[in-house]
Structure 1
Amino acid sequence: MQTIPRDPSLDSTLDVVREGFPFIWNRVRGLHSDIFQIRLMGQRTICLHGPEAAQLFYDPARFVRTGAVPRRIQTTLMGKDAVQTQDGAEHRCRKDAFMSVMTPQSRARLMRLLAHEWQAAAEYWAEQEEIVLFDEAQEVLCRAACAWAGVPLPNKDARRRARDFWAMIDAFGGAGPRHWRGKRARTRTEDWIEGIIKKIRKGKLEVAEGSPAHVMAWLRDADGEQLSARMAAIELINLVRPIVAIATYITFAAVALHEYPVYKGLLRTSGDEYTEYFVQEVRRDFPFAPFLGARVREDFTWRGCDFKKGMLVLLDVYGLNHDPRIWPEANVFWPDRFRHQTISPYNLIPQGGGHYDTGHRCAGEWITIETLKQAVTFLNTGITYDVPAQDLRYDLTRMPTLPTSGFVMRQVRPTGQAAPTAVQTSACPFHH
């Protein structure tokens, strides 16, 4: 039987904290193996890397998500017992509900709402000496996402709610104050959205049939029982919060436009297809998720290595997106690579891999791509601005991460060219 290479550390927990995003990728190169073993928080853990490993990881016959997401992440980022932690019939039931609000018509409505918010933001920014794009983008996304979802959001509350959504996201890799801020934000947000769910169920708040708020308010579990108001609120948050998280990608896209200005002209002259190449390269090159976890469903052997029931397995996300065996010149920002490189469900996985219909692939990936395409076009043609000297570096040991300055913009002026409302992506973000 083949022996899995082992990391020499007695326990790698502190190494994960110290190294952050490239933790698994560092060891793939150091151990010269796409599969190796570590101890994480005292438990034996297998780390996987590469498209073949990703295909294995997303096989529901091999792995489950139950018990794979630490409680500290459930109580901040995604909510306790949310769709991401479910398997089998219950996961399919909830995933179907998520996919039902990802139709082209629903996404087009979100793009129209976002276009309005970007235009309103540009007019406000023009009155300011300077703005921080990351902060402003969160509010733009929060306003549009809530309107799309059917969640009432008074103007005076928009910035505060956006900050709470980010605090939940920011707690993912944090300890101490960051973690507690995320927990408090989670509680406030669940209380707020649960109140909305209860109003919908009592007939005190009318929402459009088929809207995210309507779907989640009346969602039943795999046994036909209506979800509790709290659980429905958690899943509705899981539709809004990821849209707010796109502010991170938008900020990285602004950095890319600034640091690689040659692409500004290409984006203006090469059409929608090139904008999608640019957006996919932002998603590939800049850090978003470090790795993902699952547990072994039943004992099996792969590549001569034994996987035991209940064992924790981590899939390398960051490293796969930066592996030169898959992506030539992987450390170069080069959108044109997507002219010829086929995207599969297992080789470009910034938000996870696998298929939408049978696995855990992010239901909001279409929205991420379309929102980014719209934002890139808006930043490139909808406004002009100056970029003062600032620290645009990002720390790979911090999870999540973003440019230190948040991307400061000065002398913002609308050009009169509105943000596009008709934004499309390929029928699927990867090719089968």
Structure 2
Amino acid sequence: MTLSELKSADSAVALLRDPYRFVSRRAAELGEDVFETRLLLRRITCMTGAEAAAVFYDPARFQRAGAAPPPLQKTLFGQGGVQGLDGDHHRQRKAMFLQINDPDRVEALAEAVTREWRRAVDAWTATGEVTLYPQVQLVLTRAVCDWAGVPLSDAEVETRTAQLTALFDDAGDIGLGHLRSRAARKSAERWAADIIEQIRSGELSVPTSAAAFMIANHREPDGRPMTPRVAAVELLNVLRPTVATAVYIAFVAHALDGHPVWRERLADGDGSEDLAFVEEVRRHYPFFPAVAAIVREDFHWRGHRFRKGRRVLLDLYGTNRDSRSWDDPERFEPERFLGEEPDRFAFVPQGGGDPAVHHRCPGEPVATRLMIVALDQLVRHMTYAALAPSAPIDYRRLPALPTGGYPIRVLATDDFP
């Protein structure tokens, strides 16, 4: 049996119009978890659902080398980074990131973000009206650079924030935004490579626990250090995703606005339900639409043939809202995360499986912890009014966001200890 194929000659336009819901909607129309289509005239296979995710993350069936489309390699990911590695090379590089993001270091980053948030909120109060999304980007850039051992003067904060943001905020654009992202990638890699070389030469001294130190001194399976350019890519793979957490934080604010009962419940609570709330934000709201891999060797699954060399997309957004895995999936309900941990192939906001083995993002604990920091500040330490309450989500944007970036008027803050 061949894969169910869409009748349209090419689905690129449909995908661009609805990048988050394209796969799940087409799969529902066809009654299949797997279908074949064309994107820019190239055949591609699309998959959705937890069972499909378990197959997709089988390293014996799929590889990541060469899977990311070139436009994303030259913007979002960089070339030579961990996302495009397989086998022992991937496991060794991934182990470096897991060490960088061990629980103590994640907590140190959370403390740095809290300090920067408190510093920024005074300026927000004086200004009155601010847009949360870009302001949080500045907070996260300051904090993660300090935590990672990356020197950052006050004079360059806005420049570096703009570069790091362009790597993810403009990467999916097909016009001038994409060109900005490519230019930002080149500039940011030069900056990061210079930092790596300064650490290696002894010109720059950073703590041995800092991400920049670990990356500069990492050894590949052949015993050699990464080239300065590849090390720069990996340093940016620490900085960029941290700044990208601003997307999730905007959604935290949006969810609090849309669910006042939960806002009050969290404000009066002891923090024990904070994680459940942010996990439901990650399940319910759009972040990554899909991830790509390439078939290693021909195989069959559910009667369908997967051909060697075929690029395959796994639908992350639709898998997180699949009714076979989630009761009433369109409903925002944090209580679903107060019980057992969800299946790692059903809950895939930043990839599926085990982060130590599979291509699940090793920075997930950073995202959840920093979302909790933001949640704590928003519900327990700030009084503010949303200027565009419950603004619609712009699903055509990559990444999707509340329309307008969530503008607020800061009314008051508490006295921080």
What TM-score, normalized to structure 1?
Answer: 0.94
**Per-residue deviation, 1:324:** 2.1
CA RMSD of aligned residues (A): 1.4
**1:163 maps to what in 2?**
162
CA distance in 2, matches of 1:219, 1:165: 23
CA distance in 2, matches of 1:350, 1:41: 26
CA distance in 2, matches of 1:142, 1:234: 17
CA distance in 1, matches of 2:58, 2:217: 30
**2:100 maps to what in 1?**
101
**Per-residue deviation, 1:397:** 1.9
Q: In the alignment, is residue 411 of structure 1 matched against residue 395 of structure 2?
A: no
**1:40 maps to what in 2?**
39
Query: What's the secondary structure of 1:181's corresponding residue?
Result: helix
**1:142 maps to what in 2?**
141
**2:326 maps to what in 1?**
327
Partner amino acid for 1:170?
A: D
CA distance in 2, matches of 1:109, 1:102: 10
Q: In the alignment, is residue 376 of structure 1 matched against residue 381 of structure 2?
A: no
Trace 1:33-72 onto structure 2 (pairs within 5 A): 33-72=32-71
Partner amino acid for 2:364?
A: E
Cα distance change of structure 1 residues 167 and 211 upon mapping to structure 2, 3 Å threshold: same
Partner amino acid for 1:319?
A: G
Say whether the 8 Å CA contact 1:351–1:365 is kept in structure 2: yes
Unmatched segments (≥5 aa) in structure 2: none
Query: What's the secondary structure of 2:118's corresponding residue?
Result: helix
**Per-residue deviation, 1:132:** 0.8
Query: What's the secondary structure of 2:143's corresponding residue?
Result: helix
Instruction: Please list the CA deviations of residues 165-191 of structure 1 after superposition, one character each: whole Å capped at 9, or x if unmatched.
Output: 111102332111010010111111111
Say whether the 8 Å CA contact 1:385–1:411 is kept in structure 2: yes
Cα distance change of structure 1 residues 210 and 342 upon mapping to structure 2, 3 Å threshold: closer
**2:226 maps to what in 1?**
227
Cα distance change of structure 1 residues 344 and 417 upon mapping to structure 2, 3 Å threshold: farther
**2:86 maps to what in 1?**
87
**1:190 maps to what in 2?**
189
**2:10 maps to what in 1?**
11
CA distance in 1, matches of 2:192, 2:345: 34
**2:262 maps to what in 1?**
263
Say whether the 8 Å CA contact 1:296–1:313 is kept in structure 2: yes
Say whether the 8 Å CA contact 2:171–2:178 is kept in structure 1: yes
Ranges of 4+ aligned residues in structure 1 off by more than 6 Å: none
Say whether the 8 Å CA contact 1:122–1:413 is kept in structure 2: no
Say whether the 8 Å CA contact 2:388–2:406 is kept in structure 1: no
Identity of aligned residues (%): 39
Q: In the alignment, is residue 209 of structure 1 matched against residue 193 of structure 2?
A: no
CA distance in 1, matches of 2:55, 2:271: 34
Instruction: Please list the CA deviations of residues 53-72 of structure 1 after superposition, one character each: whole Å capped at 9, or x if unmatched.
Output: 10111111110001110111
**Per-residue deviation, 1:385:** 1.1
What TM-score, normalized to structure 2?
Answer: 0.97
Say whether the 8 Å CA contact 1:130–1:412 is kept in structure 2: no
Instruction: Please list the CA deviations of residues 277-331 of structure 1 after superposition, one character each: whole Å capped at 9, or x if unmatched.
Output: 1101110111101111000111111111111111111101011112222222211
**1:430 maps to what in 2?**
none
Say whether the 8 Å CA contact 1:138–1:244 is kept in structure 2: yes
**Per-residue deviation, 1:391:** 7.7
**Per-residue deviation, 1:129:** 2.3
CA distance in 2, matches of 1:294, 1:171: 22
**1:291 maps to what in 2?**
290
Cα distance change of structure 1 residues 340 and 218 upon mapping to structure 2, 3 Å threshold: closer
**Per-residue deviation, 1:19:** 1.9
Unmatched segments (≥5 aa) in structure 1: 419-432
CA distance in 2, matches of 1:38, 1:271: 49
**Per-residue deviation, 1:42:** 2.0
**Per-residue deviation, 1:415:** 1.3
